[in-house]
Structure 1
Amino acid sequence: MKQSFGEYIRHLRTKKELTLTQLGAKLDLDSANLSKIENGKRDFDEKRLTLLAQVFDLNLEELKTEFFGDLFAKKLYESSSSTDALIVAEKKVKYLRQINAKQESLKL
């Protein structure tokens, strides 16, 4: 997806022919805040991802990928960082998973 996460939400909303008010009610957001999210002036709350997936019948894991991809891209852009940071982050995720797996096996 090349669009921002907010633009993605707008696309989903308009495709389903929902108004800002209607979708806002389903997500427990007022329409003004939802408009700010769609226009990139405010970030979507991670805690609402499950609800968003349910409203649009989306795969939650794929939605998380879009959400976090957008979040990481914004951070890299704002800090003028290299995309090499993504490679480093991927290695760190693998490391953290290994440490967690080791800790879980010790508990057994």
Structure 2
Amino acid sequence: MGVNNIGVGSVGGARRVSPGLQCLVCGDTSSGKHYGILACNGCSGFFKRSVRRKLIYRCQAGTGACVVDKAHRNQCQACRLKKCIQMGMNKDGRSMTSLPFIYNDENLMPLAFI
């Protein structure tokens, strides 16, 4: 298994996992599909804890419109959870759906479907 210039291993001639896949919530590097969307481990874990513990958050600024990005994602839990839901995270989604992806010139596919 060789390694290409972006540090991602190759599988059968196709490059493995995420050249540029981003978390839909904060923009960090996605680790796969979590709760129905591409998300990083941080946002996936945050969403899981929030849902399982039935946590209720209050917006720190009082506006409900805080910036949720990689640098600011931990500043307002209410706005982060709101963005998770707006981007399509589903509490009924399986957290174990983070399948490895294969990237080839045509598309991205979960490794399990190849």
TM-score normalised by structure 1 residue count: 0.24
The structure where strand makes up a greater share of residues is 2
Q: Which has the higher contact order (CA 8 A, sep 6+)?
A: 2
Q: Give the structure with higher Rg (CA).
A: 1
TM-score normalised by structure 2 residue count: 0.23
The structure where helix makes up a greater share of residues is 1
